[in-house]
Amino acid sequence: MRFHLSYLGCRLNCAEISALEREIVQRGHTLVDDPAQADWAIVNTCTVTHVAARKSRQAIRGLARRNPRIKVAAIGCYAEMSPDAVAALPSVKVLVANCEKDRVLERILAMEPASSPPARNTVSPPVRHHTRAFCKVQDGCDNRCSYCIVTIARGPAISRPPDQVIAQIQSLVAGGYREVVLSGVNLGSYGHDQGPTAVLGPQSGWSLARLVREVLDKTTVDRLRLSSLEPWDVAQDLLTLWSNDRLCRHLHLPLQSGSAAVLQRMNRRQDLSGYARTVAELRAAIPGMAISSDLIVGFPGETDDEHAESLAFVQEMALTRLHVFRYSNRPGTRAVELPGQVDPQTAALRAQQMADLGHRLAESFHKGLVGQRMTVLFEEYRKREGTLTWGGLSDTYARVEVQSEADLRNQILPVRILSADQRTVQGTLA
């Protein structure tokens, strides 16, 4: 059968879709980019904001418009939290809860047994368009941030057994991937599971630092990257791991607000001084470390002064990239009940101001790379006026472009940085 896969939202959703892509290929089925050619589509939905939920609905409706014969399997957080709304969308034939999403392909194949070839025990090559792979090592979250629906949608923190993680990364390396990104809802809680569903627990001796060390020791992956990590989970034993240059010098540390009062209303576990201390420790221990972050603006009760405090703190931290979100009321969260809901126009203005600051910080970070020699994993190219321009990522998550007529895809090569702007840095092969 022919499958079209897509996702919305976080890197964990991407990791889950990537795992499904490999499973589909290994079972002898075909992946197609064009949904008009697909028999089935699997959509990993998101509901972290009302915009994400709307985009999830739009994505499913768009599939049905492009291919009226397509059958859709909906998974992910929006399917979990709003199953009736998703089931009513056109072409949706399968609806799978988060706790069952690993078995979505089995559900589909059981509906069409005549079309299911026997499984093939083969290693799939890199699929889709990227040369990086996302590896899910953890799911769920035990934090209780007042705005977050993900804790409700994903459930408590559960760590994946380390032997499974190691085996998957070894398979990815055998398939040609050069970089693996360790992903989870609350990645830093790896090994700290609680409750009857826990695979690992606080007495198991496992932590994120130990898992990273095991991956570096037991696999030959060229580059290992950590996805989003809560700042309070940056332990001292983690800092020592960057002595291995295969571990990418980039961390995404969600701040959410640079106002102390707003952070308290958000029920975040770290204050501003703790965040600043973590950033300083990282930069002191790992030269060249790039730190990006998430920011929410327009949180209930946020005043003009608190927004100004947030802008000033973000500027002080000299973050390299910002993901800016307007606060979104999510039913079931405590923030819904907070007084002082910010009007949409004010929230939009504040979001633009924070995004503009993010653009200035990104440009400053990029220009600071000029003159340096960096290694880049090249992923894709564009052709303009007969010239090939290849793009890829440095280990510090800077987007780098070089002009070359050679095939650079999936190669890690040294680049001398010559110039920079807000979006990218430009260089030449060194």
Tokens, residue 159: 């760590």
Other C-beta atoms lying within 10 Å of the C-beta of residue 280: 11
Helices (H) and strands (E) in the chain, counts: 13, 18
**DSSP of 1-18:** -EEEEEE-SSHHHHHHHH
Q: For residues 31 and 360, what is the distance between their CA atoms, to the nearest angstrom?
A: 39
Residue 225 bridge partners (DSSP)? 181
Predicted pLDDT at 49:
92
Q: How far apart are CA 87 and CA 74, in angstroms?
A: 8
How, if at all, do strands 399-403 and 387-394 pair? antiparallel
pLDDT value for 345: 97
Scanning 323-404, the segments in alpha helix (DSSP H) are: 344-367
Q: Which residue has the tokens 């910010």?
A: 342
Q: Do the Cβ atoms of 375 and 414 come closer than 8 Å?
A: yes
Cβ atoms of residues 86 and 92 within 8 Å: yes
Would you state the pLDDT for residue 116?
53
Side-chain-side CA neighbours of 396 within 13 Å: the count stands at: 23
Query: 124 is written with which tokens?
Result: 């799939």
Residues of the chain with pLDDT under 50: 121, 123-127
The reported pLDDT for the residue numbered 120 is 57
d(CA 76, CA 95): 9
Helix (H) or strand (E) holding 25: helix 11-26
Residue with tokens 């020791």: 217
pTM for this model (two decimals): 0.89
pLDDT confidence of residue 11 = 86
Phi, psi of 185 (to 5 degrees): -65, -45
Q: What is the pLDDT of residue 192?
A: 87
pLDDT at residue 113, as a whole number: 72
